[in-house]
Amino acid sequence: MQFNIRGQRMEVTDALRDYVGKKLSRLERYFEAPPQSDVQVTLAVTKGQHAIEVTIPLPGAMLRAEEKRDDMYASIDFVVDKLERQIRKHKTKLNRKFRHEGTARLFKEEAAAGGHSVTTLTYEDEDELELVRTKRFNMKPMDVEEAILQMNMVGHNFYVFANTDTKEVNVVYRRSDGKYGLIETAE
């Protein structure tokens, strides 16, 4: 894996760079072949909190985790743990999908005692994907600023709307830093 490590409002020291590389390299053992895409790592310090955000683009999936702690090294340890949990949670589902489509597996299967490979799908994993509500609404064409106002009026963290400028369906959302983001569809 190639790591693109950058700092926001801080300098990334060689020690931090080495520590991040060493910890994230542990994730390679879960893959059949190491991902060819660059792993994006952002380190930041805001209001005394040391944050790390890691994004790993994979074929057909995106792994992303972030963590904020009082210590940068603790943040790095916790974000790697989060990524490992995500990989373990999704590897059975993704491997099943790729096997069904006749393409190569993305994640390695874990070897159990006796040399047999075992993967399990628990009921908890299925329950997490249960759809409990569907909403339908008419999308009034509006600009981004009006969509942000509408989102704030309804008290949600995101808002789906028809963008008058692009004639596409977009999503505005409130970021953890209190600012706003826009999601547009790619062609």
Which tens digit of pLDDT belongs to each residue from 95-109? 565 555 554 555 555
The CATH number assigned to the domain holding 175 equals 3.30.505.50
State the total domains in the chain: 2
Whether residues 171 and 83 fall in one domain: no
Q: Write down the pTM of the prediction.
A: 0.57
pLDDT tens per residue across span 53-101: 999 887 766 788 899 999 999 999 999 999 988 887 776 665 565 555 5
Query: What domain range is 11 assigned to?
Result: 2-110
Domain boundary pick from 68, 87, 110: 110
In a domain, 60, yes or no: yes
Whether residues 105 and 164 fall in one domain: no
For the segment 18-27, the average pLDDT, to the nearest whole number, is 92
What is the side-by-side order of every strand in the sheet holding 169-174? 141-142, 158-163, 169-174, 180-183
In a domain, 118, yes or no: no
Whether residues 87 and 147 fall in one domain: no
The CATH number assigned to the domain holding 33 equals 3.30.160.100
